[in-house]
Amino acid sequence: MALSDLLYPDNPKRRQELIHLHQELLDCMSTNFRATNELAGVLNEHLGCTITHIQMRESSTVKENCDIIIQAMSEIQHQVQKIDSDMKEKLEPVLYQKLYDIKEPELEKIAIAHKVFSIVLGEVTSTAGMVVIKLLGSNLITLTVSKLVSLLAQIGASVLGGISITILGLGIEMILHAILGAVERNQLLAAVRSYEKHLAEFKAASEKYQRAIHEVTSLVRHKVQ
């Protein structure tokens, strides 16, 4: 079947829509890569973690890049869960509960966390306690990361997953061919709408994820200054 048979010939707007959606997806993924590396840097520097920084692979597909960031986010989740376990193990139950009590003074919770990490790591930065409380007390791990990981997995498993992230340099026809692939004419509209739905959810979750990370990193920068 000719490529033109897969498109609505009188609807050039649909062509531009597909290209725009694809570029938005790549821009959003790129920002998430940078934000994830920022958070990994903070955890490595202040909490003794060894999370590897990640990079988008231009020669790989959308799915392969989704898998890269999912792995990094999963490692961050694991590290924060380990931090929580350390706190629970080292603290009396009453003190541990204080860490999650919104009525408790922030400075007291920071002091508790800092003391525990001083024991665990032997030597910690002055910012370590603040980072711990910010991570444990926010929904960064329990909600934000989990939601984004789920959406990344959905995108990777969809028709979008097999598209190369460098395809934008190959021209409009190649982009359309890659996006549509074997999608039949009567499925085109559904495919585009699915793309729009995935992207809208992904962008919203990404913005929450990036804001949460900014809260942590800006806290660290402010402390250093």
22-35 residue pLDDT tens: 788 888 889 999 99
Percent of the chain beyond pLDDT 90? 12
Residue 144 inside a domain? The answer is: yes
Residue 188 inside a domain? The answer is: yes
Residue 18 inside a domain? The answer is: no
Residue 218 inside a domain? The answer is: yes
Q: Is the pLDDT of residue 142 over 70?
A: no
In angstroms, rounded to a whole number, what is the distance separating the alpha carbons of residues 188 and 27?
23
What is the reported pLDDT for 53? 95
Between 24-28, 133-137, 191-195, the lowest mean confidence (pLDDT) is in 191-195
Q: Encode 184-200: b = buried (16+ Cβ within 10 Å), e = exposed.
A: eeeebeebbeebeebbe
Helices vs strands, H then E, count in the chain: 8, 0
Measure the N-to-C terminal CA separation of the chain; round to a whole number of Å: 62
Query: In whole angstroms, how far apart are CA 101 and each of 86, 96, 104, 121, 165?
Result: 18, 9, 6, 25, 44
Answer whether 0.85 is exceeded by the pTM: no
Residue 179 inside a domain? The answer is: yes
In angstroms, rounded to a whole number, what is the distance separating the alpha carbons of residues 106 and 134?
10
Number of domains in the chain: 1
3-state class of 77 per DSSP? helix
3-state class of 101 per DSSP? coil
Range of the domain at 190: 59-90+138-222
What is the reported pLDDT for 103? 85
Residue 74 inside a domain? The answer is: yes
Residue 36 inside a domain? The answer is: no
Between 30-34, 80-84, 100-104, 188-192, the lowest mean confidence (pLDDT) is in 188-192
Residue 51 inside a domain? The answer is: no
Token representation of residue 88: 């629970």
